[in-house]
Amino acid sequence: MTWENLAFRAWEKESMIRESSATTENRVSTQPIIQIIGLHKWFGEFHVLRNINLTVNKGERIVVCGPSGSGKSTLIRCINRLEDHQRGRIIVDNIELTHDIKKVEKIRAEVGMVFQHFNLFPHLTVLENLTLGPVWVRKIPKAEAEETAMLFLEKVHIAEQARKYPGQLSGGQQQRVAIARSLCMKPKVMLFDEPTSALDPEMVKEVLDVMIELAQDGMTMIVVSHEMGFARSVAHRVLFMDYGQIVEENTPEEFFSNPRHERTKLFLSQILH
Mark the segment that binds other proteins (CB under 8 A) among 29-37, 56-64, 108-116, 157-165: 108-116
| Separate counts of helices (H) and strands (E) for the chain | 11, 10
Out of 21, 70, 131, 182, name the contact with ligand ADP by CB under 6 A.
Answer: 70
Q: From CA 141, how far away is CA 273, in angstroms rounded?
A: 51
Closest-CA residue to 156 (of 116, 121, 126) = 126
From residue 13 to residue 52, what is the string marking binding to ligand ADP with x (rule CB under 6 A)? ------------------------------x--x-x----
Got the DSSP string for 106-157? Answer: HHHHHEEEE-TT----TTS-HHHHHHHHHHHTS---HHHHHHHHHHHHHHTT
Part in contact with ligand ADP (CB under 6 A); list of ranges 17-25, 68-76, 86-94, 214-222: 68-76
Bridge partners of residue 239, in order along the sequence = 64, 249
Sheet of 61-65, strands arranged across: 111-114, 189-193, 220-224, 61-65, 237-242, 245-250
d(CA 107, CA 121) in angstroms, rounded, equals 21
Interface with Mg ion includes 74 (CB under 5 A)?
A: no
136 lies in the site for other proteins, by CB under 8 A:
yes
Q: How far is the CB of 71 from Mg ion (least distance, A)?
A: 9
Among 30, 68, 122, 160, binds ligand ADP (CB under 6 A): 68
| Residues making contact with ligand ADP (CB under 6 A) | 43, 46, 48, 66, 68-74
Residues binding other proteins (CB under 8 A):
80, 82, 101, 105-106, 108-113, 115, 117, 119-123, 132-133, 136-137, 181-182, 185
